[in-house]
Amino acid sequence: MNVDIPGLLKATEPMARSIASTKGVSPRISQDDMLFDFLVRAVFTADHEKAIEAYFMGGEDCANRFAGLVHEYFPDGPKNVLEFASGYGRVTRYARKVLQRTEWICCDIHPQAIAFLASELGIPGSVSSADPARWSVSTSFDVVFALSFLSHTPDKTFAAWVERLFSAVAPGGLLIFTTHGAVSLANMKRGGLKAEFDDRGFYWNSNSDQRDLSPDDYGTSAVTLRYVQSAVAPLHRAELVRFQQAFWWGHQDLYVIRKAKVG
């Protein structure tokens, strides 16, 4: 489907401003944002204005859900959060609203996204790598949050990304991520895909929301709890403290992994 995204964003600017002002967040959506592009092309195909609404409402819902979750573990709020695979700030724009005292840092594979987050939202970030072995950060975080990233990660890098992201968690902190799981797979099947876990509990197809990324590095995966447990098992001081099926969007599974304090 051919859609003029810059034209659509211009035409819907008053609407975006109005929604964003009620929420007290930036109204800007980047024309390079592939997640917005996906909402327009693949989800709200008949009514593109709904994609704008969904972008702001969905971002707010995810930010609230995340803040509610972290307050269960850090009642006064975490000191800092790394939002990994933040994209162009669908969720990030609510950071200061939901966790006022938390330092929030982003990371994404798209340099334009990191530039957008800094200039439009005033949130700092760093550019990631397709290869987990080449990714690191200099600080450690009370919470590392990866929403809908390991839902797109191939088998070859899944465990390595879990290990790398966990390495950025401070002692006593949490790695929080989502994956496609059994409910997502059942939805895919209902949509006509021949989607089955293999005997290790992994499923893969190369479709994704990020058309510019190589399907060797980013597609659609789904995993079982057992598959994730085997990625977590070798990690020093890691304890899987929560698995909640279909917690996110009614189909993505939630994982919370705590790093034990030293001593």
Ligand X SMILES: C[S@@+](CC[C@H](N)C(=O)[O-])C[C@H]1O[C@@H](n2cnc3c(N)ncnc32)[C@H](O)[C@@H]1O
> What residues line the site for ligand X (CB under 6 A)?
35, 85-87, 90-91, 107-110, 128, 130, 147-149, 209-210, 213, 218
Q: Are 119 and 113 in contact (CB under 8 A)?
A: no
Of 23, 157, 193, nearest in space to 85 by CA = 157
Minimum gap (Å) between residue 263 Cβ and ligand X: 32
Q: Closest approach of Cβ 112 to ligand X, in Å?
A: 10
Pairing of the two strands 252-259 and 238-248: antiparallel
C-alpha–C-alpha distance, residues 248 and 65, integer Å: 9
Biggest CA–CA distance in the chain, Å, is 58
Kindly state the smallest distance separating residue 190's Cβ from ligand X, in Å.
21
Which one, 128 or 221, has the nearer CB to ligand X?
128
Instruction: Between 91 and 256, name the residue whose CB sits nearer to ligand X.
Output: 91
Nearer to ligand X, 124 or 171 (CB): 124
Neighbours of 209 (CB within 10 A): 19
CA atoms within 13 A on the CB side of 72: 11
Return the SS3 of 135: coil
Least separation in angstroms between residue 169's CB and ligand X is 16
Q: How far is the CB of 215 from ligand X (least distance, A)?
A: 12
User: Would you say 208 or 224 has its CB closer to ligand X?
Assistant: 208
Closest by Cα among 101, 104, 110 to 141: 104
> For residues 60 and 142, which CB has a smaller minimum distance to ligand X in the complex?
60
